[in-house]
Amino acid sequence: MTSSSLPGTAKVTVVDHPLILHKLSLMRDVRTGVKEFRELAGELSMLLAYEAMRDLETAPERLSTPIQDDDFPMLSGKKLALVAILRAGLIMADAMVRLVPAAKVGHIGLYRDPATLKPVAYYSKLPQDISERRVFVTDPMLATGGSAVAAIQTLKEAGAQSIKLMTILSVPEGIAAVHAAHPDVDIVTAAIDTGLNDHGYIVPGLGDAGDRIYGTK
């Protein structure tokens, strides 16, 4: 795992674990079909979450094993919220909630304004107590960063104070855009690719994540 940050910006953690790299390579492979792609995206999201949640607080609780009573660590501190950026972020949030089943789940939908080309939130349903929760916002592809920046803005306007961005693939442009707009938001990703092509796709990337997850074109 490698973590880096420029002065005044949040951290980027690349979780370059062999299992993650292997699963990511399978996801990149054009021959990988919908079923396998979906499964891999879910598994990889759980592995990323494992690392992203490393700094969750624990506190001792008194429990009885079949042998004796003792204090054992249990999750404590702020409760969690997972927020999926529609639609590709759903698969990540759905997988992560299996690790933290008590987390609340929010959704943000964005469209691109044809005049300004800027993303605009058309749908936002978030936990009411989001200001008291640690928020993990999910979007598999951090490309230009436009959607992530807008979604994080929506979260902040709703009161969110502690936000981590979870992505499967990122590019330097997207990371820079998120850092410029939201220097307090850490990013957790499986890999940083070279850049974007003329159509805004990540290179070498894995194609359109939403289409590959849902089998649409």
Please, which residue, 172 or 210, has the CB nearer to ligand URA? 210
Question: Annotated catalytic residue: which of 2, 62, 116, 198?
Answer: 116
Specify which residues 109 forms β-bridges with. 123
DSSP secondary structure letters along the chain: -EEE--TTS--EEE---HHHHHHHHHHH-TT--HHHHHHHHHHHHHHHHHHHTTT--EEEEEEE-SS-EEEEEEE-SSEEEEEEETTTHHHHHHHHTTTSTT-EEEEEEEEE-TTT--EEEEEEE--TTGGGEEEEEE-SEESSSHHHHHHHHHHHHTT--EEEEE-SEE-HHHHHHHHHH-TT-EEEESEE-SEE-TTS-EES--S-HHHHHHT--
Distances (CA, A) of 104 to 31, 59, 80, 139: 35, 21, 7, 17
We find the least distance from the C-beta atom of residue 173 to ligand URA, in angstroms, to be 11
Q: By CB under 6 A, name the binding residues for ligand URA.
A: 88, 141, 143, 200-202, 205, 208-210
Q: Would the annotation count 133 as a binding residue?
A: no
Q: Would the annotation count 64 as a binding residue?
A: no
Verify whether residue 167 is a known catalytic residue. no
Please, which residue, 103 or 169, has the CB nearer to ligand URA? 169
We find the least distance from the C-beta atom of residue 208 to ligand URA, in angstroms, to be 4
We find the least distance from the C-beta atom of residue 41 to ligand URA, in angstroms, to be 11
Q: Would the annotation count 168 as a binding residue?
A: no
Question: Annotated catalytic residue: which of 112, 129, 184, 194?
Answer: 112
Please, which residue, 154 or 170, has the CB nearer to ligand URA? 170
Q: Would the annotation count 147 as a binding residue?
A: yes
We find the least distance from the C-beta atom of residue 168 to ligand URA, in angstroms, to be 10
Q: Would the annotation count 207 as a binding residue?
A: yes
CA pair distance 189, 206, nearest whole angstrom:
14
Verify whether residue 112 is a known catalytic residue. yes
Verify whether residue 211 is a known catalytic residue. yes
We find the least distance from the C-beta atom of residue 123 to ligand URA, in angstroms, to be 18
Verify whether residue 212 is a known catalytic residue. no
Please, which residue, 21 or 196, has the CB nearer to ligand URA? 196
Please, which residue, 80 or 188, has the CB nearer to ligand URA? 188
Residues in binding site? 87, 112, 139-147, 202, 207-209
List active site positions: 112, 116, 208, 211
